Amino acid sequence: MKVAKFGGSSVANAMQIRKVAAIIQEDANRRIIVVSAPGKRDKEDIKVTDLLITLGEARLSGSEAEEELQAVVNRYRAIALELELDQAIMATIEADLRERITYDTNNHARYMDVIKASGEDNNAKLISCYLQRLGMDAHYLSPLEAGLLVSDEPGNAQVLPEAYEKLALLRETKQVLIFPGFFGYSKEGILCTFPRGGSDITGSIVAAAVKADLYENFTDVDSVYAANPTVVDQPVQIKRMTYREMRELSYAGFSVFHDEALIPAFKKGIPVCVKNTNNPSSSGTMIIAEREYFLNPVIGIAADKGFAAIYVRKYLMNREVGFGRKLLQILEDEGISYEHIPSGIDDTSIILREEQLSDDVEKRIVKRITEELNVDDVHIEHNFAMVMIVGEGMHNTIGLAARATAALAQANVNIEMLNQGSSEVSLGLAVHAEDADAAIKALYEEFFGGIKEAVID
């Protein structure tokens, strides 16, 4: 059996939902269907999830928010009308939303989760209604009823191990189950959403729980590309890659797949396939446990902006027992997580997501590091991008780092930091954010410039 997940652009309007129905009908093994909320119909459009966030925030600031509510209802209405669905489904969706907005607003994060989750929940109801109208034995399934248990962390939930047992029962389904993505319930029955883009995570969890033969992730591109197509002209398509490669690339900005989504599928060894709803006959990209990397040691180049570095220098840092722990404790006290720590003998840089910093936080961190660790220098630099060269062959192929640094030198890109310590599948380079595109282009040319075919396997 297959679990198929359809992302926001695949369910953005009636035309797209018709394509989804055809894809489900075409293969009887596609028995569990995970859906996102309606996404953008074109570049300028607004995702339903974002409309819901506007609605929730308006209510929290005390507004009636009737206009914001109508904006959401109208998106579903347009779809329902075009699919010629019964009036009842629209009444159900509107009543559901009107009920949700009256929930307790004391805890803002919980309130927002209830509102946000309606995007996928109502879309799943609508889609199952359409499939039934087409004569299919389709059934909406609530994550509460199905037992998708998650940690009680609004907007940032994680699946609990107990969820898998209950969800495993879905394997026996004879019906086509339409499962809303993006949220689950805590043991106390409180709704919590995954991070943004989290329907991918739901799909992966369900696929792992039912031990699906395949987890298909339908989106709007034919495959994963070796670099961002908006930066590199017609990059090669990747036909086969490993979980680790996909995770590294998603982490560094490949938006085709949520970076946390692979872990459940990976742990149970479920193969994942990224496919195109608009071109389902294209084979897509297979994500698997292992691949032969001799031919293509590097599989992709990615870059993500929005990093800062805390630079700390102290003579004989390498000999001071406990220095690293004390330094990281200061970050922990501020609730800050870090991404990389390239280090020397007398200095270290902690690279972290810039959004976690504010003027106040920075001042406190610098003051504490200066006073408590007695350092020679500490300062925070902003506006970095992390460029990742990803491939299973990264560690075992001689000369890759040399080729990468030479290519960047030729493109006049200064490498601020370099990290090839722990990860076996990536080489991370910090550059100034304004150099990120030039770095991607130069590295793409170096590692893929000679490849004539449109795909690498």
Q: Is 13 in the site for ligand ASP (CB under 6 A)?
A: no
Q: Is 413 in the site for ligand ASP (CB under 6 A)?
A: no
Do 114 and 191 meet the contact criterion of CB atoms below 8 Å apart? yes
Q: Is 199 in the site for ligand ASP (CB under 6 A)?
A: yes
Cβ 364 to ligand ASP, closest distance in Å? Answer: 32
The type of residue at 276 is N
Look at residues 434, 320, 321, 313 and name the one whose alpha carbon lies nearest to residue 377. Answer: 313
Taking the C-alpha atoms of residue 197 and residue 199, their distance in angstroms, rounded to an integer, is 6
Q: Is 339 helix (H, G, I), strand (E, B) or coil?
A: coil
Look at residues 14, 56, 61 and name the one whose alpha carbon lies nearest to residue 38. Answer: 14
Q: Is 287 in the site for ligand ASP (CB under 6 A)?
A: no
Taken in order 10, 289, 283, 29, is the CA torsion positive or negative? negative
Do 346 and 318 meet the contact criterion of CB atoms below 8 Å apart? yes
Query: Which residue lies nearer to ligand ASP by CB, 253 or 297?
Result: 253
Q: From the list 56, 143, 154, 197, which residue makes contact with ligand ASP (rule: CB under 6 A)?
A: 197
Q: From the list 40, 166, 171, 196, which residue makes contact with ligand ASP (rule: CB under 6 A)?
A: 196
Taking the C-alpha atoms of residue 239 and residue 222, their distance in angstroms, rounded to an integer, is 10
Cβ 166 to ligand ASP, closest distance in Å? Answer: 22
Q: From the list 179, 182, 215, 257, which residue makes contact with ligand ASP (rule: CB under 6 A)?
A: 182
14, burial (CB in 10 Å: exposed 0-12, middle 13-18, buried 19+): middle
Do 47 and 38 meet the contact criterion of CB atoms below 8 Å apart? yes
Residue found under tokens 């695949």: 10
Q: Is 47 in the site for ligand ASP (CB under 6 A)?
A: yes
Quote the Cα angle for 425-427-429, to 5°: 155
Q: Is 428 in the site for ligand ASP (CB under 6 A)?
A: no
Query: Which residue lies nearer to ligand ASP by CB, 119 or 393?
Result: 119
Q: Is 171 in the site for ligand ASP (CB under 6 A)?
A: no
Q: From the list 9, 13, 36, 223, which residue makes contact with ligand ASP (rule: CB under 6 A)?
A: 36
Q: Is 37 in the site for ligand ASP (CB under 6 A)?
A: yes
Which residues are 287's β-sheet partners?
Answer: 241, 272
Query: Which residue lies nearer to ligand ASP by CB, 49 or 349?
Result: 49
Q: Is 119 in the site for ligand ASP (CB under 6 A)?
A: yes
Q: Site for ligand ASP (CB under 6 A): how many residues?
A: 13
Q: Is 204 in the site for ligand ASP (CB under 6 A)?
A: no
Q: Helix 400-410 to helix 436-448 angle, to the nearest 10 degrees?
A: 130
Q: Is 198 in the site for ligand ASP (CB under 6 A)?
A: yes
What residue is closest to ligand ASP based on CB?
A: 199
Cβ 116 to ligand ASP, closest distance in Å? Answer: 7
Query: Which residue lies nearer to ligand ASP by CB, 118 or 426?
Result: 118
| 48-67 residues near ligand ASP, rule: CB under 6 A | 49
436, burial (CB in 10 Å: exposed 0-12, middle 13-18, buried 19+): buried
* Residues near ligand ASP, by CB under 6 A: 8, 36-37, 47, 49, 119, 181-182, 196-200
